[in-house]
């Protein structure tokens, strides 16, 4: 699985907003500077997140962006889907829409299993979990494996 720069930046921006959810709107410039993201690129991402219902915005001197819902109710998967679409696709197609034949027939089951596991991880972690550095035990357990940190 590949996480795009757009998805990475969106999650990081959402985490900045989660950390500031009790302090009022946060300016895009502040998020861009704190996360070392191009301001122009970030504005496009925040626009997608606003259209997707994850953030709200207000113009003006006291304006900025804030989460549309509590950080506890927004998963990392919600943010990725908002800016990049489906979590897992094959050649731009969702796995249930694929079909294979012959020796590749069981490949569909593999792609479905992959999607199920990605969903389990990314839907199971909220912005609040990440912002507070309190990942669910099952997620931390996966990362505790020495093999998780090596590239084959």
Does pTM surpass 0.95? no
CA distances from 99 to 89, 94, 104, 111, 114 (A): 13, 11, 9, 11, 16
Query: Average pLDDT of the chain?
Result: 94
Question: What pLDDT shows up at residue 62?
Answer: 84
Residue 123: CA atoms inside 13 Å, Cβ hemisphere, count?
Answer: 10
Is residue 1's pLDDT more than 80? Answer: no
Question: What pLDDT shows up at residue 151?
Answer: 87
For range 2-19, the mean pLDDT: 96
Tell me phi and psi for residue 55, to 5 degrees.
-130, 160
Torsion of CA 37, 38, 39, 45, to 10 degrees: -70
**Count of beta carbons in the 10 Å neighbourhood of residue 109:** 11
């Amino acid at each position: 699985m590949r996480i795009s720069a757009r998805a990475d930046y969106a999650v990081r921006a959402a985490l900045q907003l989660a950390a500031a959810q009790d302090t009022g709107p946060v300016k895009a410039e502040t998020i861009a500077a704190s996360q070392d993201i191009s301001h122009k690129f970030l504005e496009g991402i925040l626009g997608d997140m606003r259209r997707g219902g994850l953030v709200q915005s207000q113009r003006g001197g006291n304006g900025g962006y804030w989460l549309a819902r509590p950080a506890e109710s927004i998963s990392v998967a919600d943010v990725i889907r908002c800016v990049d679409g489906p979590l897992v696709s094959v050649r731009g197609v969702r796995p249930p829409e694929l079909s294979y034949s012959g020796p590749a027939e069981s490949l569909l089951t593999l792609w479905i299993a992959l999607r199920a596991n990605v969903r389990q991880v990314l839907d199971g972690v909220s912005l609040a979990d990440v912002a507070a550095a309190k990942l669910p035990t099952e997620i931390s357990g996966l990362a505790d494996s020495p093999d998780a940190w090596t590239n084959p």
